Amino acid sequence: MPNAHFGTFERVVFGLVFAWLAYAGYRLWTGTFSPTARWVGVGFVALAALGLTQDLFDLNRRSVDAGVVSATTEVVRGVVEVSGGGVCIGCERSLEGGKYRLHGRWVAGQYTLRPQGTQPYALGYQGGEANLEDTPLKPGCTRGFISEETRLEFDGASGVVLEVGPGASCTN
C-alpha cells in the first residue's frame, strides 16, 4: 500500500459509504425477480466499491497519469520536483539521466517546478501560448536557470518540450 491514508475521517466516511453500498446491493438483489436487473445492480455496486477502494488506497495515480489527463508529482532527487498537470495529448515523461523531461504534442495545464539549488532548464514549443510566471514566452526554445519555485502554464501549446536538470536542451 504505497500511499494509504487511514485517518478517522476516512474510516467514518468510507465506512458509511461502504455500508450504504452493501445495503443498496441487498435491496437491489431482493427488490426484483429479473436476473439481469439483479446482476446489473450487483455489478454497478461492485464497480462503485472498486472505484472507492482505489481512491482509498491511492492506487489510481499511475493509470490517471498514463492517460490524456495527468495530475502528478514527479521527483528527480537532488534536481527538481515537478507537480501539477492538465490535459496532455501525446505525452511522454521521463526522469532518466538525472533530469526531468516532458514531451507533448499539445498541452493545456499548469506545472510547478521546485528546483533544488540552481538548475538549468530548456522550454520549447511551436504554437499556442506558454507563460512562465505570468510572462508570455515566445514560440521556439527558451533556455535559462531557475533557483526558486516557478509556475509554468501552457494554454494549448503544441510541440512542447520541457527539460529541467543538467544538460537540459530542447532537442531530444
Partner 1 sequence: MINTFSTLIWLELRKFGVFGLGLLLGVAAWFLLARQIFAWTGSNLESAIAVVSTTAFFAMCVNTVLLVGLAQDFWREYRAGRWSLLLGSPQPAWLHLAAKAVFGGAVLSLFNGAVWLIMTFWLAQVGMGLPLGLGASLWLYALGGLALVVPALFLGLWVTAYTPGKATLIALVMGVVGMGQVLEWSVRLFGDLFYKLLPPWRLPAPTFEQNPAVRGLWESFPGLPTEGFVLSLALMVPLFWAASRLWQEVEA
Yes or no: say if 162 and 169 are a contact pair by the CB < 8 Å rule. Answer: no
- Closest approach, Cβ 165 to partner 1, in A, equals 26
Nearest distance from C-beta of residue 119 to partner 1, angstroms = 28
> Do 110 and 130 form a contact (C-beta atoms < 8 A)?
no
Written as nine digits, the cell of 7 is 485517518
Mention every residue, 6+ apart, whose C-beta is less than 8 A from residue 147.
115, 117, 118, 119
Binding site for partner 1 (CB under 8 A): 24, 27-28, 30-37, 40-41, 43-45, 47-48, 50-51, 60, 63-64, 66-69, 89-90, 105-106, 126-129, 155-158
Contact 101, 123 (CB under 8 A): no
Shortest Å distance, C-beta 69 to partner 1: 7
C-alpha dihedral, 28 to 34 to 36 to 39, nearest 10°: 30
Closer of 34 and 169 to partner 1 (Cβ): 34
- The residue among 121, 119, 123, 106 whose CA lies nearest residue 157 is 106
Task: Tell the smallest beta-carbon distance from residue 23 to partner 1 (Å).
Answer: 8
Q: 514531451: which residue's cell?
A: 103
CB closer to partner 1, 51 vs 117 = 51
Question: Is 28 or 132 the residue whose CB approaches partner 1 more closely?
Answer: 28
User: Please, which residue, 99 or 103, has the CB nearer to partner 1?
Assistant: 103
Minimum CB distance to partner 1 smaller for 61 or for 114: 61
Q: What's the rounded Cα separation, in Å, for the pair 165 and 100? A: 6
To partner 1, the closest distance from the beta carbon of 60 in angstroms equals 7
